[in-house]
Amino acid sequence: MKIKMLKHLTPIGLVLGTWMASFSVQADTIDPMSYTDKLDVGESVTIRKTVTVTEAPTSSVLDVMFIFDLTGSMGGAISGAKAAAADIMSGLDAFGDLQTGTGWYSDPGSDGTYVDLNAGNTAASSGISDMWDGSSCSVGGMGVGCGGDFPEMTYAAIKDSAESTSWRTGSNRFIIVLGDASNKGPVMAPETIAALGAADVNLIGLEFGGGAFGSSITALGGDVYSGGASSAAIVSDIIAGVTSSFATYSTVTVDDFGAGMPGVGVSVSCVSADIGACVGSDAVGSYDRSVERTFEFDVTFTGMAEGIYDFDTHAVVDGGIVATEDDLFSVGPRGGRDASVPEPASIAMFALGLLGLRLRAKRS
């Protein structure tokens, strides 16, 4: 095994963009941000990685599903709900790698994943534009928006979204529900809470009616904000809600989520854990973002099978990706660090040499 200790580099503040009040934030980092090496099959190299978790918002992999109440009582509010969702989507784009989608519920019927997560992040690509506009009783060919109000099938859509959405590995996950009434069965709180927990999804409600909707969301452990406020206030509240979910954390690690296999095995050992303790591959403690914190890990890459492997290794906080490193490995038998691997130009010259010898042989 060869050991390489790379010096810690001061993290660079990355401007994530402006939003409403024109704020800028630092992104969480993994240092180094890229690594390239050659390994023989069975050979390993260990790299010291430093993860820096900064103050305030984070640059992260963010998956957000918007779930719309499309019953008749939302007729006067649906245009505002759609506009709010589009504005929230634009605001959340400042957090980093964002994907969005939509679902809906009516009475009867629900579809928690009407448009699955995608990186388009527009009202059209996310399915926001397709939501009922009050002009007809249909969305996606389903009869909705024509009564059957109070209570509604809120939990059915939330549970379906948690279970059927194509959440990305290591993403920070949110369901934002836009509605105005309480829940009714057959899906009730226990199975909905279980589905949210199994998928590790955070829940936020945007209320366009009475307190019954809010009570249904808080009963699931979600946070609720008013949909009757101005667009700027709604976006500010939701951004604050998402930001608060990153305010405290208990585990930090480095993980490739199996992306290096079958060619490169990745194992991790925690070296330093700020105010916490190292437990195997994890830094464990009661952390918060009141100050910038640094964590160190030894990451061992082992050549497993011949080939060229380009994959990502991530800084992971409470199971969610907050920073990404690009790794590129050439694995032997001639891939080892002592091997002489021809560059493309050398290969071309060698081919021309062979061609010259062949022509000379023909002339003779």
User: What rounded mean pLDDT belongs to the chain?
Assistant: 81
According to the model, what pLDDT value does residue 137 have? 57
Segment 216-234 mean pLDDT: 86
Question: For 194-212, what is each residue's pLDDT tens digit?
Answer: 999 999 999 999 998 766 8
Q: According to the per-residue pLDDT averaged within each range, which of 208-222, 294-308, 348-362 is highest?
A: 294-308
| CB 99, CB 121: distance < 8 Å | yes
Residue 83 tokens read as 């506009």
Segment 143-170 mean pLDDT: 84
How far apart CA 170 and CA 177 sit, in angstroms, is: 22
According to the model, what pLDDT value does residue 236 have? 82
How far apart CA 140 and CA 264 sit, in angstroms, is: 44
Q: What is the pTM of this model?
A: 0.71
Read off the pLDDT band of 354 (50, 70, 90): very low
* pLDDT surpasses 50 at 5: no
Question: For 110-134, what is each residue's pLDDT tens digit?
Answer: 889 999 999 999 999 999 998 875 5
* Largest distance between two CA atoms of the chain: 96
* pLDDT surpasses 70 at 23: no
According to the model, what pLDDT value does residue 134 have? 53
Quote the percentage of the chain above a pLDDT of 70: 78
Segment 14-42 mean pLDDT: 66
Sorted by sequence, the CB contacts under 8 Å of residue 142 that are 6+ apart come out as: 106, 109, 111
Closest CA to 39 of 77, 94, 1: 1
Pick the CATH number of 2-58+247-350 from 3.40.50.620, 2.60.40.1930, 2.60.40.1510, 3.40.50.720: 2.60.40.1510
Domain spans in the chain, listed from the N-terminal domain onward: 2-58+247-350, 60-244
Using the structure block, give the residue that is written with the tokens 């955070």: 202
> Which carries the bigger pLDDT value, residue 74 or residue 135?
74
Any idea what DSSP says for residue 257?
A: T
According to the model, what pLDDT value does residue 217 have? 94
Question: For 240-260, what is each residue's pLDDT tens digit?
Answer: 778 777 889 999 999 999 999
* pLDDT surpasses 50 at 12: no
Segment 178-183 mean pLDDT: 90
How far apart CA 81 and CA 322 sit, in angstroms, is: 29
Is residue 193 classed as helix, strand or coil in its secondary structure?
A: helix
Read off the pLDDT band of 6 (50, 70, 90): very low
Sorted by sequence, the CB contacts under 8 Å of residue 311 that are 6+ apart come out as: 256, 259, 260, 264, 326, 327
- Of 141-155, 177-191, 267-281, 330-344, the poorest mean pLDDT is in 330-344
According to the model, what pLDDT value does residue 91 have? 85
Residue 93 tokens read as 């784009």
Read off the pLDDT band of 22 (50, 70, 90): very low
Tell me the Ramachandran region of residue 170: left when phi exceeds 0, alpha when psi lies from -120 to 50, beta otherwise.
Answer: left
Angle of helix 78-92 versus helix 231-244 axis, rounded to 10: 50
Residue 96 pairs with which residues in a beta bridge? Answer: 60
Segment 218-234 mean pLDDT: 85
How far apart CA 84 and CA 102 sit, in angstroms, is: 13
> Which carries the bigger pLDDT value, residue 338 or residue 128?
128
* pLDDT surpasses 50 at 1: no
CB-side neighbour CA atoms (13 Å) of 262: 3
According to the model, what pLDDT value does residue 77 have? 83
According to the model, what pLDDT value does residue 202 have? 92
> Which carries the bigger pLDDT value, residue 361 or residue 45?
45
Q: Under CATH, which architecture does the 60-244 domain have?
A: 3-Layer(aba) Sandwich (3.40)
Segment 340-346 mean pLDDT: 45
